[in-house]
Structure 1
């Protein structure tokens, strides 16, 4: 049977004047006790042993128990606290310190200035319901606990810390304004359901050090760092969660591998889904809206598997960069201001059954020879510039891909390699496929229909290998090969009512071609004459008569003899020129003409 004790600060008849005296009386009897406390201020340190219930008589918060410094309530046994307000300062061990047994806090207000609100220690259990915890953190160390309908506000540290093998369930609770994390799970296990977290300065919810974390049906808004973060080989699941206005919707790194499903990330300032540094993870049926930089980013060794996700608004849809990997299946990317898909810098990516619509660029691949992208069943539609662009030394392979309504279908430049298998290009403003620089383009069963200029073009020193392909109703030419582009055409057809079937430079092998349109060879103009300017010889600015010229000699000796006839009718001049060492001597007899004089 439970023994009841009454506490009144006025010390009325039959009541204890303070809570401590009632606890001592209950301990002396050694039986279960219920201590009913009248409203008032109690400056006490409470140590509770055994099976004890502390109950505020009146509204919750009408009983205030406080101390200037240190712990206010220490629990040993089975302790229940209802409706009290507990306030402490500099309580490193906790304003409420559960050292043994089982602790229940119901409709309790705990304020910890420069300290810990509640510390639930190893081997103990706790239940926190309809309570508020302000300014300090709530710590579960190696304990088990259930938290329901509680509020954690203004924590100067982590609002809730679940550490050292603790197992905690938090339901329908709210966490506001934590200086570090809202909930940190480290080497422990936690489950959050129906919670709301706002205003944290770092990650709202973080799992580290091989933690297990499940987040379901939660809302996270207005946080300065990531909304969700899994690092250091942590695991877990995130389902049905909504994120708005965070730096990153979810950040996965350092070997972590969460399962994320049916989540929405809206207005994230940097990225919606961010995987890096050997992070993995499976992301299913998620949505990223209006990400500031990238909707889904795998970088620096990340390797996610993303399926059924939708990315809309923002700058870049899906990006895999800096030696990362990724597999993307059944995704829909649309209405971006930049590029739908990006593969850069030695990354390796697979896209399957992906749709990219209303983006200036479809796929942008750039990097060295280790940069590869494989696309199967990918559809690009209503792109402003180009569906697929491969540059650098990147390698891109498309199978059963389509490109509709844009400027240019598929292009490869610089030293890139582009392979097209069973692909279709329809209704483009310029051309179906383009190879330039020293790129290599291989097309098998390519169909280009309704291009307003050309079906396929090779220029520069590119190499083009096209087989089994069709080019229909291309306005200017089916295939065009300029400059020193080389390659071959095998079993191709060009159909239409106007234009040219093939314009080539003579470097492309036309093995077999079916067409009723003309085939024209582009003749290169003859090179201009070579002009050599000699800036070491003489320069004449007007006509010169009877001049002797010598240059390139080390030593020149000239002798002249004048003889006059008696009748003085004419004068005859004998001239001789002797040159030493190697040189050249020329004489002019006519204006503007120079004849060589052979050296004796």
Structure 2
């Protein structure tokens, strides 16, 4: 049986002058009734200065629709509920940050087309073991808090929260759908040691991460739009898990970030105009990122740093500065990735990090891959194509690069090792380069098998300073200057190679190259190794003699116990 109570501040006959008096009458009836009852409290328009306590099965309604009834309180909680309570169309306000504006203490509470205003405390608070439903409602300035409770939020608006707009903590379980969150000073939604599902929501202008999962939280996000965020669009930290699907982040410092052991799955998302990074994985976090697009990240599209270890598959990075960077002792696996139109490196591995790249396509970037760091800095590339870059691969420091089935097209330099780096290339191709196919300088070492260089305006191979090139089973075609050039103190080895073309020379040898089975119709030019001639001649006393090459200005004695050396001075006298 439903009992109806009408509240009118004008004291009409059969009505109650205050909401409190109507609720108290229902509580009294409940106390004496043998059968469970429910009540409807219908309130005529007006402003009520009351603190409400609703018990039992009660529905509190603004008689003339949303906004017509305002319940205001300077101090304390405006509405406290026990039982099964529904509130429709009221405006609930308080000005006390030390109290919840609305508190569900026991049972369930539904706010439907309600507006809650508070200066900065909790606008609505679901206490432990309760369930709160918020539907088509507005929350101004205060946070909405679910503590060890369950909750449903549908089509609500949260504006200018002084804290987090929504927080689920201490094991709470929450579903937020079709809602808008704007201007929160901290987070839009924070999930801490709790579970939350956020679907079809808009979040904008938050001071920190729009969506935050921390302390082993589980956060599921789908079909959301996040814009103009001062920090991260979505952040997973402290071993949190979850998934992000079909979500767009625009104008955030970082699009999606995982840190301190978090491990999210991110799929089919678009991260646009991020002021620092699009995807950021750090401090021992992991994460799988599938079929995402990162557009115009100002610093780095995908960044693994400080021990991060993401797996990135089927992603597209375009515009901005650096495409994919692995740094500061991190790892990363990247497959079926396309990177294009960057002002700096498409792929970067630095500082003791390890990057593995498979089935990657790079177009129109300044650099393809650059590596730098100690011997623990490694990059492994398989089936990678670089087009329209200045240098396809640049290895510096003591870093080590392994290339398998890698192609460089339309570049200044194909593969370059410098300083003390090592590059190993298997079944690779370099075509249409303006300077050289493969370069080794400093003390770098480059090893190549089944390498093809075609259409170089300069050289096929080039070594300088103390660089070393060891190349086998390889072909160099139409290299305008030379198939291979060895300068300075560089050295190398050519085994079963061919140089074909109509101009230039086959090999320019500085005398430090071992050539085994070179097929060519072009000239091989050898530069004699210069030695410093001393004033005294060299005397060698050996039991047996083997001399490879020419010997000049030497005296050689066989089987002599004593050797007397004579020398003429500049004035002709013998000494």
| Secondary structure of 1:342 counterpart | strand
User: How far is the alpha carbon of 1:380 from its aligned partner?
Assistant: 0.2
2:299·2:320 contact (CA, 8 Å) conserved in 1? Answer: yes
Alpha-carbon RMSD across the aligned residues, in angstroms, is 1.4
2:111·2:133 contact (CA, 8 Å) conserved in 1? Answer: yes
* Alpha-carbon separation, structure 1, partners of 2:13 and 2:335: 76
Write out aligned runs for 1:150-549 (5 A): 150-383=156-389, 385-523=390-528
* Alpha-carbon separation, structure 1, partners of 2:117 and 2:360: 52
* Alpha-carbon separation, structure 2, partners of 1:484 and 1:19: 96
User: How far is the alpha carbon of 1:145 from its aligned partner?
Assistant: 0.7
| Secondary structure of 2:198 counterpart | strand
Tell me whether 1:84 sits opposite 2:90 in the alignment.
Answer: yes
User: How far is the alpha carbon of 1:239 from its aligned partner?
Assistant: 0.2
2:400·2:423 contact (CA, 8 Å) conserved in 1? Answer: yes
Structure 2 match to 1:121: 127
Write out aligned runs for 1:41-60 (5 A): 41-60=47-66
* Alpha-carbon separation, structure 2, partners of 1:276 and 1:62: 51
2:120·2:163 contact (CA, 8 Å) conserved in 1? Answer: no
Structure 2 match to 1:568: none
User: How far is the alpha carbon of 1:524 from its aligned partner?
Assistant: 5.0
User: How far is the alpha carbon of 1:129 from its aligned partner?
Assistant: 0.2
1:263·1:286 contact (CA, 8 Å) conserved in 2? Answer: yes
* Alpha-carbon separation, structure 2, partners of 1:515 and 1:323: 46
* Alpha-carbon separation, structure 2, partners of 1:488 and 1:115: 75
User: How far is the alpha carbon of 1:487 from its aligned partner?
Assistant: 1.9
* Alpha-carbon separation, structure 2, partners of 1:115 and 1:488: 75
User: How far is the alpha carbon of 1:93 from its aligned partner?
Assistant: 3.9
| Secondary structure of 2:25 counterpart | helix
* Alpha-carbon separation, structure 2, partners of 1:9 and 1:83: 18
User: How far is the alpha carbon of 1:214 from its aligned partner?
Assistant: 0.4
| Secondary structure of 1:61 counterpart | coil
Structure 2 match to 1:552: none
User: How far is the alpha carbon of 1:133 from its aligned partner?
Assistant: 0.5
2:229·2:251 contact (CA, 8 Å) conserved in 1? Answer: yes
1:71·1:91 contact (CA, 8 Å) conserved in 2? Answer: no
| Secondary structure of 2:232 counterpart | coil
| Secondary structure of 1:233 counterpart | coil
* CA deviation map 1:172-221 (0-9, x unaligned): 00001011110000000000000000011111110000000001000000
| Secondary structure of 2:118 counterpart | strand
| Secondary structure of 2:21 counterpart | helix
* Alpha-carbon separation, structure 2, partners of 1:527 and 1:336: 51
2:120·2:143 contact (CA, 8 Å) conserved in 1? Answer: no
User: Which of these two proteins has the greater Rg computed from alpha carbons?
Assistant: 1
* CA deviation map 1:38-79 (0-9, x unaligned): 000000011111000000011301100011111000000000
* CA deviation map 1:339-369 (0-9, x unaligned): 1111100001100001111001101100011
Tell me whether 1:12 sits opposite 2:17 in the alignment.
Answer: no
Q: Which runs of 5+ in 2 are unaligned?
A: 31-36, 536-569
2:440·2:467 contact (CA, 8 Å) conserved in 1? Answer: yes
| Secondary structure of 1:509 counterpart | strand
User: How far is the alpha carbon of 1:486 from its aligned partner?
Assistant: 1.6
* Alpha-carbon separation, structure 2, partners of 1:137 and 1:338: 43
Q: Which runs of 5+ in 1 are unaligned?
A: 531-594
2:511·2:529 contact (CA, 8 Å) conserved in 1? Answer: no
Structure 1 match to 2:553: none
* Alpha-carbon separation, structure 1, partners of 2:50 and 2:532: 104
1:461·1:483 contact (CA, 8 Å) conserved in 2? Answer: yes
Find 1:139's aligned residue among 129, 142, 145: 145
